[in-house]
Amino acid sequence: MVATRRNARSLGAAIAAALLGLGGAAACGTSPGRSDGADSAGSASQEDRRPPEQRFQWSAKAPDPHGVEVYAPPAGEGHGQVLSTATRTYDPGSTQARESRPENIIFQITDLGGIHPVAFSTSDGPTGFDGLVPVGYTQSAAGAALAAQAYMTAPTGQGYGDLVERVVEDATDADRRSARQHSDRMAGDAEMKERSVAGYYPASEGARVDLVAADRAEVMIYERGQKADGSVGFFGRPLSLHWAEGRWKISSFRKFPRMWEGDQLPPEAWQWVKHSN
């Protein structure tokens, strides 16, 4: 079953509403360890130079409505498959950090995002998990983009409670309770579970990151869908991130930034995966 463009737009609106409205299993691998004080997943041997989609086992893969391959980890590995526990290093705030782009992106179906594919890279994280939340992203534009994309998927999966508890800086006890209740509802939603398969919901199209300081990033995550006039277009959802305690955190649930809409990706944006559709 594949999401229609109209469904993609309505689901995208639901994600945005949940992300703003509620507050304003170990991955398979070869060498378990620790990362960022959280659960870590193993990665393939450094000598194995095959593409990551060939190095790991997957229970399924399918193209999304726009032709981007989406992968599902083996049953019972709902966190997702960490592609590498080694990441690039940057001098925080440097030109290299500001201009970085993640490499070897694989979109995966996870318990965090449910129907919404999450981007994993070999270059900039994630390298592990804190609950269902991916962690271990680099302190760079590439790491900020990956973190923001993952965080934005949480309202459609089971990880929203973990997200609000672990990476939302101004979350209140009421926010955390509401988010946990939302996660419980999603975990019990049979229809959403049925749709949480590779190829149903479109993967994110791309990102734009303004690394305004070494520890601050303004991120726009772009998706494709149907505009109000019925034509196909692109939608951007902004998120402000703050680097603290060794990870990217969501600065505030008290702001309601405006979504961007256009006929094509803006020139300053970049795609996660190059495709022709």
> Where along the chain do its domains lie?
5-271
Tens digit of each residue's pLDDT (9 = 90 or more) over 114-143: 999 999 999 999 999 999 999 999 999 999
Main-chain dihedrals φ then ψ at residue 249, nearest 5 degrees:
-120, 155
pTM: 0.84
Tens digit of each residue's pLDDT (9 = 90 or more) over 56-78: 999 999 999 999 999 999 988 99
CA–CA separation, 152 and 84 (whole Å): 22
Tens digit of each residue's pLDDT (9 = 90 or more) over 196-222: 999 999 999 999 999 999 999 999 999
Helix (H) or strand (E) holding 71: strand 69-72
CA–CA separation, 216 and 175 (whole Å): 23
Q: What is the residue type of 214?
A: A
SS3 assignment, position 255: coil
**Under 8 Å between Cβ of 187 and 271:** no
Main-chain dihedrals φ then ψ at residue 268, nearest 5 degrees:
-80, -5
**Higher-scoring residue by pLDDT: 19, 90:** 90
Q: What is the residue type of 116?
A: H
